[in-house]
Amino acid sequence: MHKLFFVFAAFALLGCSAQSGQPTATPLPSVALASPTPTFMPSVAVPSPTPSAVATASPSPSPSKPSNLTELKFTFTLDDGVRVNEGSVPFAFKLPDGRVRLYYCGLGGILSSVSTDGLN
């Protein structure tokens, strides 16, 4: 903690001290900084790496499967009802009277449906 205080104190005294006088003007270079004509850079030959500098790929070890893993299996069944197509992500909003309004994306934009039996 004390070292941090000394660092801040040194910075405050040395780095933030006021300097007297005006800054000296530095002349701009005599070349044009922007030109409407294109300028091409000179060609530079890039040496190719020597064979000793080229890395070689070595096979990495295969990860081992822990023995304490449990295999999970799921069975999905299709329930009755109407599906929302076109890959939309629906949003269900419960209305005060118990019905559910479903907003979803369709070819014509954002669509809405109301269910009279909840989310069933």
Q: What is the pLDDT of residue 118?
A: 58
Q: What is the pLDDT of residue 22?
A: 65
pTM exceeds 0.85 for this model: no
Q: What is the pLDDT of residue 6?
A: 62
Q: What is the pLDDT of residue 34?
A: 62
Q: What is the pLDDT of residue 18?
A: 55
pLDDT in tens, the chain (120 residues): 566 666 666 656 555 555 566 666 666 666 555 666 666 666 766 666 666 655 666 777 777 777 777 777 878 777 777 666 655 677 888 888 888 888 887 777 888 888 877 555
Q: What is the pLDDT of residue 32?
A: 55
Cβ-based neighbours of 93, under 8 Å, separated by 6 or more: 100, 101, 102, 103
